[in-house]
Structure 1
Amino acid sequence: MSHDLNLPAIADNQAAGQWQTSNDADAALGNALADILTVDFSGGDVTLNNTQFRSAMTFVPSGLSTTRSLTVPAVKRALFLVNNTDATYSITVTRGATTVSVTAGSVGVFSTDGTANGLVGALVATGSSSGPIGKHTIWVPATAMTPRSTNGAAQGTAEMATNKNMVKTLDFDASTQEFAQFDVAMPKSYNGGTITFIPYWSHAATVTNFGVAWGVDAIAISDDDTLDVAFGTAQVVTDTGGTTNDLYVGAESSALAIAGSPATGDLIQFRIHRDPANGSDTLAIDARLHGVRIIFTTNAANDN
């Protein structure tokens, strides 16, 4: 008889040593359910062999000096944990072509099915908070944005005809590039990496050509930094309208790198613009911005 945990089994008609076989099996099962194995990454990436993988429930790192890979074998395990106790570097858990990153200070919960790429996993919250680790959204309405003094978007108000819904927007010109800005003090749990954005917009009546290009760039400003500082490289999302007074939601942008190397406690200043010079921007009237979703990633469950 064989097991995924390779537990010793008492053979049919076995007499001699059966108690030892039973004890060995109990010990192996206890280790697989409760033991902790420290994985030494000081020499580089680590590949666990079958025996190592079966010997513990939880794997913790030592010797991390950069992000490292932990490759697990093709052994079926319904549950195991990777508790990344390191404060700085991630561990990439790997089975074949499947990878899951366990960020610094996080716990990964995993299962394997014994196949070449059979690994599934997710991060769970640590500490006293039950808040999730991963992507989060900040909604910034147009009313919270400041039009730039130079080539700033116009503030607009519109009332819908039938139900009298009121909308307050920033209206961006069809021929002159116009801008607005807003500031966000990012939470301590923000991982300092790239962000993405999704624009929400509409337009008034027009006959043809409904394309709009929205761009966002950003800069991180630390304590005692100058406020007169260059923004980073913008990412642009193009979208197509068509119906008067319909709300349009653009696609999620490509990854946007925030200039200035964001650090904990920084103020992030975002700048949004319409790009009339973009070949996909064809709307011949003002594009009305209702707001923007800023999507960022956390690496902690709270801001303790």
Structure 2
Amino acid sequence: MTTPILGITELADGQIDQFATANAAFRALEAAANDWTAVNVSAGDAAVSDADMKTYQVFSVSGHTANQAVTFGANKRVFQVYNASDTYTTNVTIGATVISVPAETLYKFWADGTTDGLVRAL
């Protein structure tokens, strides 16, 4: 079984090498709370995979050629988006909800796991 939000493997009764599963869980929690990844939009709008959304805390968006959209799935998660463009806007999208992140700005978001459940957290 896995945890409901981050999909981290849980320990099983009588499992051999439980320390390996626990260590992997610790690394996954550390990454989900602190790690970042790049999202390149030079080829157009981008979508973040559910796996990446569960793995990373911060998404640094770069390569803008215009105002670009980055779409996230309907996952329950707190995350941040940094718009690395010095000119263009990044439009963070979940379902029909779109929140614009101005150039050179970091916004924190809360996604409630529903189709349109995106809120900017202050």
Same structural fold, with TM-score higher than 0.5 when normalized by the shorter chain: yes
Q: Which residue of 1 aligns with 2:114?
A: 115
Instruction: List gaps (5 residues or longer) in structure 2.
Output: none
| Superposition CA RMSD, Å | 1.3
**1:90 is aligned to 2:62:** no
CA–CA distance in structure 2, aligned partners of residues 12 and 68 of structure 1: 47
TM-fit CA distance, 1:62:
2.2
Q: Which residue of 2 aligns with 1:17?
A: 17
CA–CA distance in structure 2, aligned partners of residues 85 and 62 of structure 1: 5
Scaled by the length of structure 2, the TM-score of the pair is: 0.93
Q: Which residue of 1 aligns with 2:54?
A: 54
CA–CA distance in structure 1, aligned partners of residues 65 and 74 of structure 2: 27
AA aligned to 1:10 is L
Q: Which residue of 1 aligns with 2:79?
A: 80
SS for the counterpart of 1:83 is: strand
AA aligned to 2:65 is S
CA–CA distance in structure 2, aligned partners of residues 121 and 38 of structure 1: 20
AA aligned to 1:121 is R
Q: Report matched runs for 1:230-269 at 5 Å.
A: none
TM-fit CA distance, 1:65:
1.2
TM-fit CA distance, 1:46:
0.8
**In percent, how many aligned pairs have the same letter?**
37
**1:45 is aligned to 2:29:** no
Q: Report matched runs for 1:1-304 at 5 Å.
A: 1=1, 2-14=3-15, 16-77=16-77, 79-121=78-120
Preserved CA contact (<8 Å) 2:80 2:108: yes
Q: Deviations over 1:203-240 (max 9, x none)?
A: xxxxxxxxxxxxxxxxxxxxxxxxxxxxxxxxxxxxxx
Preserved CA contact (<8 Å) 2:63 2:85: no
Preserved CA contact (<8 Å) 1:68 1:91: yes
How many residue pairs get aligned? The number is: 121
Q: Which has the larger radius of gyration?
A: 1
TM-fit CA distance, 1:12:
1.7
TM-fit CA distance, 1:105:
1.4
Preserved CA contact (<8 Å) 2:83 2:90: yes
Preserved CA contact (<8 Å) 1:10 1:22: yes
Preserved CA contact (<8 Å) 1:8 1:21: yes
Q: Deviations over 1:101-150 (max 9, x none)?
A: 0010111110001111111015x6xxxxxxxxxxxxxxxxxxxxxxxxxx
CA–CA distance in structure 1, aligned partners of residues 119 and 85 of structure 2: 22
Q: Which runs of 4+ in 1 moved over 3 A?
A: none
Scaled by the length of structure 1, the TM-score of the pair is: 0.39
Preserved CA contact (<8 Å) 1:97 1:117: yes
Judging by fraction of residues, say which structure has more helix. Answer: 2
SS for the counterpart of 1:73 is: coil
Q: Deviations over 1:170-197 (max 9, x none)?
A: xxxxxxxxxxxxxxxxxxxxxxxxxxxx
TM-fit CA distance, 1:64:
1.2
TM-fit CA distance, 1:49:
1.2
AA aligned to 2:4 is H
TM-fit CA distance, 1:55:
1.4
